[in-house]
Structure 1
């Protein structure tokens, strides 16, 4: 099974233009991500899918292959799919270009989940929620799974809702930890190559439109998404104010 990492890196981020080239400890963000993916022995190749020559140059200098993609790609997954059409692979892993703390061992576990006699079309990472505050935050995506480790639903809301425990979970008496084994979803996806192309051809789903979570497109279409337990959290750089916090984590050896 040949697995490759494809890192989508768009220059014109609405919240943080030029983000892939922002320096973290004097090294461009995209280089940190390339190095993390390159440290995963499960990948035969690391590819950066971008629309900007400066990002492509930084990726090549870090040892990745750069594939130029259209500025009109609707999403990172569409950018990954465009690049993957010129790549020989059985499994394509979409490694987010703003995740410099992604764990290479977690990436290897994600690839391993795609092997076997009946592999899923798609897999992703999640870790246990740290506390109730995280469970309640809309910017933390939650996932609940069935007994086989397949996703039942992803949501920005605190799922599931405990009807009989609502009073005990309210206000200042909120417990230190969420009263459920829900997990924080980490936005890294593995696809069988043909499934990646099929996914990007699906129409946007109603649940996806409501939550603004593209993985719900797959669930609404009846797909099985395997959820793999992550060893580490992965903190992204979404806005300029995230840079100092992530730099501190990198200094600490994360």
Structure 2
């Protein structure tokens, strides 16, 4: 099975402009993402897809593969698809790795690929929620799944709602999960989902994956025990450096 890893990377973050190039203990953020992906040992190729010349030049200088893509994409999924067309190689699956996850664990990439088979359309990771603070945080996306691991729904709200149970007891009454934003797509499924129009649930929650569910696509989940640390703000980076002891 041939799998390509694609890292969409934009310069123009409103909360942290230029974050792909920020220095993290002597290496740029995007360099760390690339190296973590390659160290997983399960990807035939790892490429960066960007719309910014500074990122393009930086990745090239490091000796890694990078493609310049359109600035008009509205999602990393669309950027991945264009990069795949530019690459022109033959692959069975694509993994979309967030460009602001410099501490993504190789084991998580390996876990995601373990879900891939001919029946897999889309796959992603989830992790058990450990605190009420996480459960109530709208910036942490929650996930519901079937017993067989298929995603039922994603929400910024706490799901399921535990009726007639005090909030402090929700964690005891049900196993809640949060979404880890790494995706795997079967090649043909990726080509189809990028043609889909936004849907009501997606627009209500501002979650792209709901578009796929509303259109009948199956998202397989795998549960990781490893915490991920996405970097959205300079404060996130400061906290992450302390936690990871980089």
**Secondary structure in 2 matching 1:163:** coil
**Secondary structure in 2 matching 1:228:** strand
Q: Is the 8 A contact 1:129 1:178 kept in 2?
A: no
Note if 1:112 corresponds to 2:114. Answer: yes
Residues 231-251 of structure 1, C-alpha deviations (whole Å, 9 max, x = no match): 311111101221211222332
For the aligned residue pairs, the C-alpha RMSD in angstroms reads 1.5
Residues 34-59 of structure 1, C-alpha deviations (whole Å, 9 max, x = no match): 11101111101110001122212332
Note if 1:69 corresponds to 2:63. Answer: no
Cα distance, 1:79 vs structure 2 = 0.8
Q: Greater shift after overlay, 226-235 or 43-52?
A: 226-235
Structure 2, unaligned runs of 5 or more: none
How many angstroms apart in 2 are the aligned matches of 1:75 and 1:29? Answer: 20
Note if 1:180 corresponds to 2:182. Answer: no
Q: Is the 8 A contact 2:162 2:170 kept in 1?
A: no
Note if 1:247 corresponds to 2:236. Answer: no
**Secondary structure in 1 matching 2:58:** helix
For 1:154, the equivalent position in structure 2 comes to 154
Cα distance, 1:176 vs structure 2 = 8.2
Mark the CA change 1:176 to 1:151 in structure 2 (over 3 Å): closer, same or farther.
closer
**Secondary structure in 2 matching 1:143:** strand
For 1:223, the equivalent position in structure 2 comes to 217
Q: Greater shift after overlay, 77-86 or 175-184?
A: 175-184
Residue correspondences, number: 244
How many angstroms apart in 1 are the aligned matches of 2:83 and 2:184? Answer: 15
For 2:124, the equivalent position in structure 1 comes to 124
Cα distance, 1:13 vs structure 2 = 1.4
Residues 8-63 of structure 1, C-alpha deviations (whole Å, 9 max, x = no match): 00111122211111111231110110111011111011100011222123323444
Residues 169-214 of structure 1, C-alpha deviations (whole Å, 9 max, x = no match): 2xxxx24836321211001000011211211110111100000000
Q: Which runs of 4+ in 1 moved over 6 A?
A: none
Structure 1, unaligned runs of 5 or more: none
Normalised by the size of structure 2, how large is the TM-score? 0.94
For 2:42, the equivalent position in structure 1 comes to 42
**2:197 alignment partner, one of 185, 203, 206:** 203
Note if 1:232 corresponds to 2:226. Answer: yes
How many angstroms apart in 1 are the aligned matches of 2:151 and 2:119? Answer: 15
How many angstroms apart in 2 are the aligned matches of 1:73 and 1:188? Answer: 18
For 1:92, the equivalent position in structure 2 comes to 94
